Amino acid sequence: MLPPRIVRRLVLAPLLIALTVIAVITLPVWLLVVTAASLRLPPPQRRGTRLVWFAVAWLTLESMALVACLWLWIVSGLGGRLNHDEHQERHYALVRWLLAGVYGAAVRIFGLSVEIDEPRATPEEVSRRLTRPVVVLSRHAGPGDSVLLVHHLLTLYDRRPRIVMKAALQLDPSLDVMINRLPNAFVPREATTSGIVAEIRRLASDMDADDALVIFPEGGNFTPRRRWRAILRLERKGLVEEATRARGLEHLMAPHPNGAIAAIEACPAADVIFVAHTGLDDLVTIGDIWRRLPVRARIKARWWRVRAEDIPRKREAQISWLFDQWETIDAWITENRPAPVSPA
């Protein structure tokens, strides 16, 4: 059960800062421990020290973000003007800074590289895109894919992301403070489909040209077990055609159409962007990361845009269209997915 907000602010936030101080002071000890634990691995695959360095970098960045949040709260009149545009922009800038720091740490420590295949746009298309909000529909697999997606939306494309996330993510203090001050939504585990759809409608209904609503239609990170459960769920509902198409997806789970359709209906002027990516698909658990993290982490991504006027407007056609796009993503992953990394 998620602790009340006052507990998260007065306990978890100071605890994170204290943990960061302890981690920095004891860093030599942790490096020694993980080095000893990794001795049985070949030198190129001794990833323990890299994981420790990244964890300390992440903690440090989060603690600095929390201190910045406290300052922004003070200068906003003890929170009285947090909803004003200037303070919203300051918080977006802070999120941008935090994710840029995390991304930079991943580049330096893990050798992360991201290759994005995006369509070339004519000057007319560029001009049109600058005047439209977007709904971003992405697959969900591998560690940090949402972090990378939001980072690129903020930095490369100068968008202001809006995201519907699991309420449990509020256990991360800096995420809890920053994201709750911006137009996002946290949904509890027991939330009904109608409740989640209502939050998506709320976020989509007042988007302007700078906004991007990010949705992961699969509902969670891909695993073979979840894929199978998604197929069984469709069969139990009597959705034979959708279940058959879901069986044909090798790397994806069947998309939940309600959220995507709700966003399109709430903001009919928005274009829709589909995002495919692959590279760290096999890293699902902490154990996978320890055993399989490659020497150099490489992610390939491709996105394409569907104009608002080209999106079907009838529900059945929209569901079929969404599955069409998911089949395109699945085929792209088949062509571009790297060979699985064998356990060390």
- Is the Cβ–Cβ distance between 181 and 90 less than 8 Å? no
Give the model's pLDDT for residue 108. Answer: 92
User: Can you give the pLDDT at residue 20?
Assistant: 97
pLDDT, one tens digit per residue, over 43-53 is 555 678 888 99
The 185-187 sheet, strands edge to edge: 113-117, 298-306, 271-278, 134-138, 211-215, 160-166, 185-187
Q: For 182-240, how does the pLDDT look when each residue is reduced to its tens digit (9 = 90+)?
A: 999 999 888 888 999 999 999 999 999 999 999 999 988 888 899 999 999 999 999 99
* DSSP 3-state of 99: helix
Short-list 196, 194, 193, 203, CA closest to 163: 203
Q: How confident is the model at residue 69 (pLDDT cuts 50, 70, 90)?
A: very high
Under the banding of pLDDT at 50, 70 and 90, the label for residue 63 is very high
pLDDT in tens, 81-124: 999 999 999 999 999 999 999 999 999 998 888 898 988 777 77
pLDDT of 338 reads: 76
| pLDDT tops 90 at residue 250 | yes
Residue 253 is encoded by which pair of tokens?
């789970």
Q: Give the tens place of pLDDT for each residue, 136-150.
A: 999 988 667 778 889
**Which token pair is 18?**
């204290």
CB atoms within 10 A of CB 144: 16
Q: What is the pLDDT of residue 44?
A: 52
Amino acid at 54: F
